[in-house]
Structure 1
Amino acid sequence: MSNGTRHALGVVAGLLLPPLAAAGLWYGIGELSLQLAQTLRLSWIALGVLVATGILLALLIGSRLSPVASLLGGLAFVAVGALPFVELTTGARLLPSDLLPNPMRSGFQTLSYSGLHLVLGVALLVASVFPSRWRGRHRPEYPAQVGYEGAWEPAQSPAQSPYLPPQPPHQGPEDATRPMYRE
Protein backbone atom coordinates (compact mmCIF):
# COMPACT_ATOMS: atom_id res chain seq x y z
CA MET A 1 0.00 0.00 0.00
CA SER A 2 1.41 3.38 -0.93
CA ASN A 3 1.91 6.13 1.64
CA GLY A 4 -0.75 8.30 0.00
CA THR A 5 -3.34 5.54 0.27
CA ARG A 6 -2.31 4.78 3.85
CA HIS A 7 -2.67 8.43 4.89
CA ALA A 8 -6.00 8.79 3.04
CA LEU A 9 -7.36 5.75 4.89
CA GLY A 10 -5.98 7.26 8.09
CA VAL A 11 -7.94 10.47 7.51
CA VAL A 12 -11.13 8.49 6.89
CA ALA A 13 -10.54 6.38 10.01
CA GLY A 14 -9.66 9.49 12.01
CA LEU A 15 -12.96 11.11 11.05
CA LEU A 16 -15.16 8.02 11.60
CA LEU A 17 -13.70 6.00 14.49
CA PRO A 18 -13.24 8.64 17.25
CA PRO A 19 -16.92 9.74 17.26
CA LEU A 20 -17.96 6.07 17.36
CA ALA A 21 -15.54 5.43 20.22
CA ALA A 22 -16.81 8.48 22.11
CA ALA A 23 -20.45 7.44 21.67
CA GLY A 24 -19.58 3.90 22.78
CA LEU A 25 -17.81 5.19 25.87
CA TRP A 26 -20.63 7.56 26.77
CA TYR A 27 -23.33 4.92 26.33
CA GLY A 28 -21.36 2.10 27.98
CA ILE A 29 -20.32 4.09 31.05
CA GLY A 30 -23.71 5.76 31.40
CA GLU A 31 -25.78 2.61 30.99
CA LEU A 32 -23.50 0.58 33.25
CA SER A 33 -23.59 3.16 36.05
CA LEU A 34 -27.38 3.66 35.75
CA GLN A 35 -28.10 -0.09 35.82
CA LEU A 36 -25.81 -0.60 38.81
CA ALA A 37 -27.40 2.30 40.68
CA GLN A 38 -31.00 1.32 39.94
CA THR A 39 -31.06 -2.49 39.97
CA LEU A 40 -27.61 -3.56 41.21
CA ARG A 41 -27.17 -5.64 38.03
CA LEU A 42 -24.55 -5.55 35.32
CA SER A 43 -25.68 -4.47 31.90
CA TRP A 44 -24.13 -6.98 29.51
CA ILE A 45 -24.98 -4.77 26.55
CA ALA A 46 -23.06 -1.89 28.13
CA LEU A 47 -20.09 -4.18 28.81
CA GLY A 48 -20.16 -5.38 25.19
CA VAL A 49 -20.25 -1.78 23.95
CA LEU A 50 -17.28 -0.92 26.19
CA VAL A 51 -15.30 -3.90 24.85
CA ALA A 52 -16.06 -2.90 21.26
CA THR A 53 -15.02 0.66 22.09
CA GLY A 54 -11.76 -0.61 23.55
CA ILE A 55 -11.09 -2.46 20.29
CA LEU A 56 -11.76 0.72 18.29
CA LEU A 57 -9.38 2.71 20.48
CA ALA A 58 -6.73 -0.01 20.18
CA LEU A 59 -7.04 0.16 16.38
CA LEU A 60 -6.53 3.91 16.50
CA ILE A 61 -3.54 3.71 18.83
CA GLY A 62 -1.66 0.65 17.64
CA SER A 63 -2.52 -0.14 14.05
CA ARG A 64 -0.19 0.16 11.07
CA LEU A 65 -2.71 2.58 9.62
CA SER A 66 -1.55 6.15 9.22
CA PRO A 67 -1.01 8.08 12.46
CA VAL A 68 -3.30 10.77 11.05
CA ALA A 69 -6.18 8.66 12.47
CA SER A 70 -4.89 8.84 16.03
CA LEU A 71 -3.88 12.48 15.54
CA LEU A 72 -7.39 13.55 14.51
CA GLY A 73 -8.98 11.46 17.25
CA GLY A 74 -6.56 12.80 19.84
CA LEU A 75 -7.29 16.40 18.89
CA ALA A 76 -11.04 15.78 19.16
CA PHE A 77 -10.77 14.07 22.56
CA VAL A 78 -8.43 16.79 23.89
CA ALA A 79 -10.86 19.49 22.74
CA VAL A 80 -13.81 17.80 24.46
CA GLY A 81 -11.66 17.01 27.51
CA ALA A 82 -10.55 20.62 27.92
CA LEU A 83 -14.13 21.99 27.99
CA PRO A 84 -14.86 21.16 31.67
CA PHE A 85 -11.68 22.91 32.77
CA VAL A 86 -12.55 25.96 30.68
CA GLU A 87 -16.02 25.87 32.27
CA LEU A 88 -14.52 25.84 35.75
CA THR A 89 -12.22 28.79 35.10
CA THR A 90 -14.61 31.00 33.12
CA GLY A 91 -17.97 30.07 34.64
CA ALA A 92 -19.57 29.83 31.17
CA ARG A 93 -21.60 26.72 30.35
CA LEU A 94 -19.84 24.98 27.42
CA LEU A 95 -20.66 21.27 27.67
CA PRO A 96 -23.61 20.27 25.46
CA SER A 97 -25.00 17.68 27.89
CA ASP A 98 -28.68 18.57 27.30
CA LEU A 99 -28.53 17.29 23.71
CA LEU A 100 -27.82 13.65 24.62
CA PRO A 101 -30.27 10.92 25.78
CA ASN A 102 -30.12 9.93 29.44
CA PRO A 103 -27.58 7.05 29.49
CA MET A 104 -25.24 8.90 27.13
CA ARG A 105 -25.60 12.15 29.10
CA SER A 106 -24.59 10.41 32.30
CA GLY A 107 -21.57 8.77 30.63
CA PHE A 108 -20.56 12.02 28.92
CA GLN A 109 -20.63 13.95 32.20
CA THR A 110 -18.77 11.18 34.03
CA LEU A 111 -15.99 11.07 31.44
CA SER A 112 -15.83 14.85 31.04
CA TYR A 113 -15.69 15.89 34.68
CA SER A 114 -13.33 13.07 35.64
CA GLY A 115 -10.83 14.13 32.95
CA LEU A 116 -10.85 10.83 31.08
CA HIS A 117 -11.58 12.52 27.75
CA LEU A 118 -8.37 14.48 28.20
CA VAL A 119 -6.40 11.34 29.15
CA LEU A 120 -7.65 9.47 26.06
CA GLY A 121 -6.87 12.47 23.85
CA VAL A 122 -3.32 12.75 25.12
CA ALA A 123 -2.82 8.98 24.68
CA LEU A 124 -3.99 9.20 21.07
CA LEU A 125 -1.77 12.22 20.40
CA VAL A 126 1.30 10.52 21.87
CA ALA A 127 0.60 7.42 19.75
CA SER A 128 0.77 9.55 16.61
CA VAL A 129 4.11 11.19 17.51
CA PHE A 130 6.43 8.22 16.90
CA PRO A 131 8.44 8.65 13.67
CA SER A 132 8.27 4.98 12.73
CA ARG A 133 4.48 5.26 12.32
CA TRP A 134 4.80 8.06 9.77
CA ARG A 135 7.13 6.12 7.47
CA GLY A 136 5.86 3.60 4.99
CA ARG A 137 7.03 0.03 4.78
CA HIS A 138 10.52 -0.42 3.28
CA ARG A 139 10.51 -2.50 0.11
CA PRO A 140 13.75 -4.43 -0.34
CA GLU A 141 15.46 -4.17 -3.70
CA TYR A 142 16.04 -7.54 -5.31
CA PRO A 143 18.45 -8.22 -8.15
CA ALA A 144 17.13 -8.66 -11.70
CA GLN A 145 17.46 -12.45 -11.58
CA VAL A 146 15.29 -13.33 -8.58
CA GLY A 147 14.92 -16.99 -9.62
CA TYR A 148 18.70 -17.53 -9.69
CA GLU A 149 19.87 -19.35 -6.54
CA GLY A 150 22.41 -17.39 -4.62
CA ALA A 151 21.56 -14.12 -6.37
CA TRP A 152 20.71 -12.38 -3.12
CA GLU A 153 22.37 -13.18 0.14
CA PRO A 154 22.87 -10.83 3.05
CA ALA A 155 26.43 -9.71 3.59
CA GLN A 156 28.11 -11.00 6.71
CA SER A 157 30.34 -8.69 8.66
CA PRO A 158 33.86 -10.18 9.22
CA ALA A 159 34.04 -8.77 12.77
CA GLN A 160 31.10 -10.79 14.15
CA SER A 161 31.61 -13.07 17.09
CA PRO A 162 31.31 -16.81 16.32
CA TYR A 163 29.21 -17.26 19.50
CA LEU A 164 26.44 -14.78 18.62
CA PRO A 165 23.75 -15.36 16.01
CA PRO A 166 24.36 -13.47 12.77
CA GLN A 167 23.06 -9.92 12.93
CA PRO A 168 21.19 -8.49 9.96
CA PRO A 169 22.89 -5.56 8.22
CA HIS A 170 21.74 -2.01 8.89
CA GLN A 171 19.32 -1.24 6.08
CA GLY A 172 19.11 2.52 6.13
CA PRO A 173 17.00 5.24 7.67
CA GLU A 174 13.91 3.06 8.25
CA ASP A 175 15.67 1.10 11.00
CA ALA A 176 17.17 4.20 12.63
CA THR A 177 14.37 4.65 15.17
CA ARG A 178 13.57 1.01 15.85
CA PRO A 179 14.85 -0.43 19.12
CA MET A 180 15.52 -3.85 17.56
CA TYR A 181 15.54 -5.54 14.19
CA ARG A 182 12.16 -6.74 12.87
CA GLU A 183 11.52 -8.84 9.79
Structure 2
Amino acid sequence: MSNGTRHALGVVAGLLLPPLVAAGLWYGVGELSVQAAQSYRLSWIGLGVLVATGILLAFLIASRLSPVASLLGGLAFTGVGVLPFAEMTISVRLIPNELLPTSLSSGFLTLSYSGLHLLLGVALLVASMFPSRWRARQRPEYVAQPEYAGAWEPAQSPAQSPYLPPQPPHQGPEDATRPMYRE
Protein backbone atom coordinates (compact mmCIF):
# COMPACT_ATOMS: atom_id res chain seq x y z
CA MET A 1 0.00 0.00 0.00
CA SER A 2 1.42 3.36 -0.93
CA ASN A 3 1.95 6.06 1.65
CA GLY A 4 -0.70 8.32 0.11
CA THR A 5 -3.30 5.56 0.14
CA ARG A 6 -2.46 4.72 3.74
CA HIS A 7 -2.97 8.35 4.82
CA ALA A 8 -6.18 8.70 2.77
CA LEU A 9 -7.61 5.63 4.50
CA GLY A 10 -6.43 7.12 7.79
CA VAL A 11 -8.43 10.29 7.12
CA VAL A 12 -11.53 8.21 6.36
CA ALA A 13 -11.03 6.15 9.53
CA GLY A 14 -10.33 9.34 11.51
CA LEU A 15 -13.60 10.86 10.37
CA LEU A 16 -15.75 7.74 10.88
CA LEU A 17 -14.39 5.94 13.94
CA PRO A 18 -14.14 8.71 16.60
CA PRO A 19 -17.87 9.55 16.44
CA LEU A 20 -18.66 5.83 16.71
CA VAL A 21 -16.28 5.51 19.67
CA ALA A 22 -17.85 8.55 21.34
CA ALA A 23 -21.41 7.30 20.79
CA GLY A 24 -20.46 3.83 22.06
CA LEU A 25 -18.81 5.24 25.16
CA TRP A 26 -21.70 7.59 25.90
CA TYR A 27 -24.34 4.90 25.41
CA GLY A 28 -22.44 2.17 27.26
CA VAL A 29 -21.58 4.30 30.28
CA GLY A 30 -25.05 5.86 30.34
CA GLU A 31 -26.81 2.50 30.08
CA LEU A 32 -24.66 0.95 32.82
CA SER A 33 -25.17 3.86 35.19
CA VAL A 34 -28.92 4.14 34.58
CA GLN A 35 -29.49 0.39 35.06
CA ALA A 36 -27.34 0.37 38.19
CA ALA A 37 -29.21 3.36 39.66
CA GLN A 38 -32.71 2.16 38.78
CA SER A 39 -32.63 -1.57 39.44
CA TYR A 40 -29.13 -2.33 40.72
CA ARG A 41 -28.35 -4.77 37.94
CA LEU A 42 -25.79 -5.08 35.17
CA SER A 43 -26.77 -4.07 31.67
CA TRP A 44 -25.28 -6.65 29.32
CA ILE A 45 -26.11 -4.50 26.30
CA GLY A 46 -24.20 -1.56 27.77
CA LEU A 47 -21.29 -3.82 28.63
CA GLY A 48 -21.24 -5.28 25.10
CA VAL A 49 -21.30 -1.81 23.58
CA LEU A 50 -18.35 -0.82 25.80
CA VAL A 51 -16.37 -3.89 24.70
CA ALA A 52 -17.03 -3.16 21.01
CA THR A 53 -16.07 0.47 21.60
CA GLY A 54 -12.83 -0.65 23.24
CA ILE A 55 -11.99 -2.66 20.12
CA LEU A 56 -12.60 0.37 17.89
CA LEU A 57 -10.53 2.55 20.20
CA ALA A 58 -7.67 0.05 20.13
CA PHE A 59 -7.82 0.08 16.32
CA LEU A 60 -7.54 3.88 16.36
CA ILE A 61 -4.60 3.88 18.76
CA ALA A 62 -2.56 0.94 17.51
CA SER A 63 -3.33 0.43 13.84
CA ARG A 64 -0.64 0.64 11.19
CA LEU A 65 -3.14 2.32 8.88
CA SER A 66 -2.17 5.94 9.45
CA PRO A 67 -1.62 8.22 12.42
CA VAL A 68 -4.04 10.70 10.87
CA ALA A 69 -6.91 8.58 12.23
CA SER A 70 -5.73 8.88 15.83
CA LEU A 71 -4.77 12.53 15.29
CA LEU A 72 -8.27 13.53 14.16
CA GLY A 73 -9.89 11.50 16.95
CA GLY A 74 -7.47 12.94 19.50
CA LEU A 75 -8.24 16.50 18.48
CA ALA A 76 -11.99 15.87 18.74
CA PHE A 77 -11.81 14.14 22.13
CA THR A 78 -9.40 16.74 23.51
CA GLY A 79 -11.69 19.55 22.36
CA VAL A 80 -14.68 17.96 24.09
CA GLY A 81 -12.55 17.10 27.13
CA VAL A 82 -11.42 20.70 27.68
CA LEU A 83 -15.01 22.02 27.80
CA PRO A 84 -15.79 21.10 31.45
CA PHE A 85 -12.58 22.70 32.69
CA ALA A 86 -13.18 25.83 30.63
CA GLU A 87 -16.75 25.87 31.94
CA MET A 88 -15.50 25.80 35.54
CA THR A 89 -12.93 28.50 34.85
CA ILE A 90 -15.12 31.08 33.11
CA SER A 91 -18.40 30.17 34.91
CA VAL A 92 -20.41 29.97 31.68
CA ARG A 93 -22.32 26.86 30.62
CA LEU A 94 -20.50 25.37 27.60
CA ILE A 95 -21.56 21.72 27.65
CA PRO A 96 -24.83 21.19 25.78
CA ASN A 97 -26.69 18.53 27.76
CA GLU A 98 -30.13 18.92 26.14
CA LEU A 99 -29.01 18.03 22.60
CA LEU A 100 -28.58 14.31 23.19
CA PRO A 101 -31.16 11.64 24.09
CA THR A 102 -31.28 10.58 27.74
CA SER A 103 -29.28 7.37 27.28
CA LEU A 104 -26.43 9.25 25.56
CA SER A 105 -26.63 12.40 27.68
CA SER A 106 -26.01 10.56 30.94
CA GLY A 107 -22.85 8.90 29.58
CA PHE A 108 -21.67 12.12 27.94
CA LEU A 109 -21.94 14.10 31.16
CA THR A 110 -20.31 11.32 33.20
CA LEU A 111 -17.33 11.10 30.84
CA SER A 112 -17.04 14.87 30.47
CA TYR A 113 -17.04 15.82 34.13
CA SER A 114 -14.80 12.91 35.12
CA GLY A 115 -12.14 14.03 32.63
CA LEU A 116 -12.15 10.83 30.59
CA HIS A 117 -12.77 12.66 27.31
CA LEU A 118 -9.58 14.62 27.91
CA LEU A 119 -7.71 11.44 28.86
CA LEU A 120 -8.79 9.68 25.65
CA GLY A 121 -7.96 12.74 23.57
CA VAL A 122 -4.45 13.01 24.95
CA ALA A 123 -3.90 9.26 24.54
CA LEU A 124 -4.94 9.44 20.88
CA LEU A 125 -2.77 12.50 20.26
CA VAL A 126 0.28 10.86 21.83
CA ALA A 127 -0.33 7.68 19.80
CA SER A 128 -0.17 9.72 16.61
CA MET A 129 3.08 11.48 17.54
CA PHE A 130 5.43 8.49 17.11
CA PRO A 131 7.60 9.11 14.03
CA SER A 132 7.55 5.43 13.05
CA ARG A 133 3.80 5.65 12.40
CA TRP A 134 4.27 8.46 9.88
CA ARG A 135 6.91 6.67 7.80
CA ALA A 136 6.07 4.19 5.09
CA ARG A 137 7.42 0.68 5.45
CA GLN A 138 10.76 0.19 3.76
CA ARG A 139 11.10 -2.90 1.62
CA PRO A 140 14.55 -4.49 1.85
CA GLU A 141 16.51 -4.85 -1.34
CA TYR A 142 17.04 -8.45 -2.34
CA VAL A 143 19.76 -9.94 -4.52
CA ALA A 144 20.02 -13.42 -5.94
CA GLN A 145 22.67 -15.67 -4.39
CA PRO A 146 24.25 -17.95 -7.00
CA GLU A 147 24.87 -20.88 -4.59
CA TYR A 148 21.16 -21.16 -3.78
CA ALA A 149 20.04 -21.19 -7.42
CA GLY A 150 17.20 -18.71 -7.32
CA ALA A 151 16.72 -18.25 -3.57
CA TRP A 152 16.51 -14.67 -2.43
CA GLU A 153 18.50 -13.28 0.50
CA PRO A 154 18.74 -9.77 1.91
CA ALA A 155 21.45 -7.61 0.34
CA GLN A 156 22.98 -6.89 3.73
CA SER A 157 23.71 -9.75 6.08
CA PRO A 158 23.42 -9.11 9.82
CA ALA A 159 26.67 -8.47 11.63
CA GLN A 160 28.14 -11.42 13.48
CA SER A 161 28.41 -10.98 17.22
CA PRO A 162 32.03 -11.04 18.50
CA TYR A 163 30.90 -13.02 21.56
CA LEU A 164 29.33 -15.98 19.74
CA PRO A 165 31.17 -18.72 17.84
CA PRO A 166 30.86 -18.48 14.06
CA GLN A 167 27.70 -20.09 12.76
CA PRO A 168 27.64 -22.10 9.53
CA PRO A 169 25.29 -20.81 6.83
CA HIS A 170 21.79 -22.25 6.58
CA GLN A 171 21.85 -25.52 4.70
CA GLY A 172 18.33 -25.55 3.34
CA PRO A 173 14.80 -24.31 3.75
CA GLU A 174 14.19 -26.46 6.84
CA ASP A 175 17.01 -24.62 8.65
CA ALA A 176 15.71 -21.16 7.75
CA THR A 177 13.27 -20.91 10.65
CA ARG A 178 15.40 -22.51 13.36
CA PRO A 179 16.51 -20.04 16.03
CA MET A 180 19.84 -21.80 16.62
CA TYR A 181 22.26 -23.93 14.68
CA ARG A 182 21.86 -27.63 15.37
CA GLU A 183 24.21 -30.41 14.39
TM-score range, shorter chain: 0.7 to 0.9
Residues 164/34 of structure 1: CA separation in 2 closer, same or farther (3 Å cut): farther
Residues 74/155 of structure 1: CA separation in 2 closer, same or farther (3 Å cut): same
Aligned positions of 1:60-139 closer than 5 A:
60-139=60-139
Match of 1:97, SS state, is coil
Return the offset for 1:162: 2.1
Instruction: Provide the residue aligned with 1:41 in structure 2.
Output: 41
Letter in 2 for 1:7: H
- Decide whether the 8 Å contact of 2:11 with 2:69 is kept in 1: yes
Return the offset for 1:136: 1.1
Residues 36/159 of structure 1: CA separation in 2 closer, same or farther (3 Å cut): closer
Return the offset for 1:78: 0.3
The separation in 2 between residues aligned to 1:54 and 1:70, in whole angstroms, is 14
RMSD: 2.3
Could you list the runs of 5+ residues in structure 2 that have no partner in the other structure? 169-183
Match of 1:143, SS state, is strand
Could you list the runs of 5+ residues in structure 1 that have no partner in the other structure? 167-183
CA distances 1:83-140 after superposition (whole Å, capped 9, x unpaired): 0111111111111110111111110000000100000000000000111111111111
Figure out how many residues of one structure are paired with residues of the other and give that number.
166
The separation in 2 between residues aligned to 1:164 and 1:123, in whole angstroms, is 46
Provide TM-score, normalisation by structure 1: 0.83
Instruction: Provide the residue aligned with 2:17 in structure 1.
Output: 17
The separation in 2 between residues aligned to 1:44 and 1:52, in whole angstroms, is 12
CA distances 1:32-89 after superposition (whole Å, capped 9, x unpaired): 0000110111111000000000001000000111000000000000000000111111
Letter in 2 for 1:23: A
Letter in 1 for 2:149: Y
Q: 2:157 aligns with which of 145, 152, 155?
A: 155
Q: Which has the larger radius of gyration?
A: 2
Return the offset for 1:145: 8.1
The separation in 1 between residues aligned to 2:27 and 2:2, in whole angstroms, is 37
Return the offset for 1:141: 1.6
Quote the sequence identity (%): 70
The separation in 1 between residues aligned to 2:149 and 2:98, in whole angstroms, is 70
The separation in 1 between residues aligned to 2:76 and 2:6, in whole angstroms, is 21
Return the offset for 1:158: 5.6
Match of 2:142, SS state, is coil
Letter in 2 for 1:47: L
Provide TM-score, normalisation by structure 2: 0.83
Letter in 2 for 1:152: E
Residues 45/163 of structure 1: CA separation in 2 closer, same or farther (3 Å cut): farther
